[in-house]
Chain A
């Protein structure tokens, strides 16, 4: 759940990380007033959810100005940006400061190591780009999400950037504050893409963005209320596609079980997957096996046959999808036989043979014996729990990619 840059800066400032003096403006008039109040060299930055990760200082997302008139004109232009189907949430008008050096800090959650990962570089920019172009200039360090963040880790990273003395202490202070707010606010990403060192040696977070774990919304009610984020607002980075809206409608139309969220990708491996967090693992397993998922769609909670039929038709009907894989973790509250009935019925109602379109069916658990009988009757390959998720995904990808 992405935060706008002005929101990220609110959090940073609250935790003692200096940010440029500035204010958010909803329109050209407010931007001119802000520019008049701030004076001097300024930057006007569109407040975006989609663009900000790519770098809020990108030339098409911000403009340097030095007068209220220019600020107003820049704002008018920047507010025309399409932010994933939305307009920008105003602009941020900020003072520009001369930097003697620039750094980049990034904290994200490393799903493989299952720990937060702190990255730092002695140049500004998107840390992933820096890591690719200048891997020798990136310092990385995992840290625990369980125990309080240690200043020692921050000092290690700062030292890794070649800093010492007061420069090291200042940098370590910013790193430690960033790490602590990352944990406290349940963030999945906290990046300061441009951390500027000024003439006096102080550090300033110039370009930044953050992303919060959407499942932590209930823990961060106060913060979200402050930012005006509604309970249903997921701050998605793009407007839902017709495919995704159709998936939501299937879920809304039938209260039995759940389908969701349905997310559209550009690949050709149709996925009808779910159960106990398995859907993310399964999607990753398909990618790891060399497959390119056409969608993500978690089905579970004991869906009706009709719901499984509808999802099957949606996924198999997606342009570019020729076959689907039906896979889940071991299920106890979703009946394998009802899912089997649904996917087979969906395929047949589309005029196809189940054995031609369903690459694999791995839904081990409740009513599995009946599911096996159904699948056998229609010649669909079935895997029980002795076949790992990785192996099932590989078999599906092999069949789809030939």
Chain B
């Protein structure tokens, strides 16, 4: 379980945006995303979440499609 970072994915927004799921999988430098069960969806690889480098590439989709939460800022 990740201790420092939480990644929230809005499945509906991701699915509604053409190519976003594939792009998220492609750009994440620490492989936090993998293909989800449904076409156009992603799943979060929990083991990799604490490796998040906070590069914000995944945040460049439609607003709210992906959120990164720093758990140490609670």
Interface residues of A (CB under 8 A from B): 304-306, 335, 338, 341, 344-345, 348, 367, 370, 373-374, 377
Contacts and interface: CB of A to CB of B under 8 A. Distances in A.
Contact of B72 (A335, A338, A348, A377): A377
A275 to B, nearest CB: 18
Given A373-B70, A374-B72, A377-B72, A341 B30 contact: no
Contact of B3 (A306, A344, A367, A370): A344
Nearest to A344: B3
Interface string B49-61: 0110110000000
Given A304-B30, A373-B70, A373-B72, A348 B53 contact: no
Contacts of B70: 370, 373
Interface in B5-27: none
A374 B52 CA distance: 14
Task: Please provide the 5 A-B residue pairs with the shortest distance between their CB atoms, ordered closest to farther.
Answer: A374-B72, A377-B72, A341-B4, A373-B72, A305-B51
Interface string B38-69: 00000000000011011000000000000000
Nearest to B29: A256
Contacts of B30: 304
A345 B3 contact: yes
A367 B72 CA distance: 14
20 contacts: A304-B30, A304-B51, A305-B51, A306-B51, A335-B53, A338-B51, A338-B53, A341-B3, A341-B4, A341-B50, A344-B3, A348-B3, A367-B54, A370-B54, A370-B70, A373-B70, A373-B72, A373-B73, A374-B4, A377-B72
A345 B50 CA distance: 9
Interface residues of B, number: 11
Contacts of A341: 3-4, 50
B60 to A, nearest CB: 20
Contacts of B53: 335, 338
Contacts of B73: 373
Nearest to A309: B50
Residue from the set B4, B50, B54 with the largest chain A CB neighbour count within 10 Å = B4
A327 B22 CA distance: 40
A305 B50 contact: yes
Nearest to B47: A306
A348 B2 CA distance: 12
Contacts of B72: 370, 373-374, 377
A348 B4 CA distance: 12
A341 B73 CA distance: 13
Contacts of B3: 341, 344-345, 348
Contacts of B54: 367, 370
A335 B72 CA distance: 16
A7 B73 CA distance: 60
B51 to A, nearest CB: 5
A370 B72 CA distance: 8
A304 B51 CA distance: 7
A335 B29 CA distance: 15
Contacts of A345: 3-4, 50
Nearest to B4: A341
A373 B72 CA distance: 6
A121 to B, nearest CB: 57
Nearest to A335: B53
A172 B70 CA distance: 68
Given A341-B3, A374-B72, 4 more contacts: A341-B4, A341-B50, A345-B50, A348-B3
